[in-house]
Amino acid sequence: MSKIERVGVSLDKKLLSMFDELIAARGYSNRSEAIRDLIRDRLSEERLAKPATRAVAGVFLVYDHHSTELPRKLVDLQHSHLLQVIASTHVHLDHHNCLEVIMLRGKVREIEKVANDMAALKGVKLSKVNIMTTGQDLA
C-alpha cells in the first residue's frame, strides 16, 4: 500500500449526517473506508469512459433454452471471442428459463462489443452487464 496521508474536509452538517446514514445502512464501520471506496468508484467510472481502458465484466443473460438456435449461437460467440471470455456459468432457472453468466476481460470497447452482440441474440429475454476496472493502481 502507498503512504497514507490524513486530510481534513469541511462539510455541511446536514450533508455529513446524510452521508453517515448512508454508510451506516451500507455497513461501513467508519467514514474513512467509505470515502476511500467512493473515490475508487469515481476514479474507476472516469476510466471506464475511455474505450481503451482495461476492464473486467460479468454479462448476465436470461433466455428460454427452447429457443432453437440461441444456445448454439451463444456458444459460437464465446468461441469467437476467446481472448475476452474468461469463464462462463449456466444455471437452469425453471422449466423454460436459463441464466448464463459470462465473464469477460479486455478493453472497454471490446467488452461492450461482445456484450452487445450477446444481448442482441434472438431469444435473450433480459441482459445486464456489470463492468469495472481491474482495480490496478487504485490503492
Binding site for Ni ion (CB under 5 A): 65, 92, 98
Paired with 100 in beta bridges are: 61, 90
Which residue in the block uniquely carries the three cell numbers 476481460? Answer: 105
Q: Kindly state the smallest distance separating residue 64's Cβ from Ni ion, in Å.
A: 10
Please say which residue, 92 or 122, places its beta carbon nearer to Ni ion: 92
**What is the amino acid identity at position 81?**
H
Q: Kindly state the smallest distance separating residue 124's Cβ from Ni ion, in Å.
A: 13
**What is the amino acid identity at position 17?**
S
Q: Kindly state the smallest distance separating residue 90's Cβ from Ni ion, in Å.
A: 6
Please say which residue, 54 or 65, places its beta carbon nearer to Ni ion: 65
Which SS3 state, helix, strand or coil, does residue 116 take?
Answer: helix
Please say which residue, 66 or 92, places its beta carbon nearer to Ni ion: 92
Measured CA to CA, the distance from residue 127 to residue 14 in angstroms comes to: 38
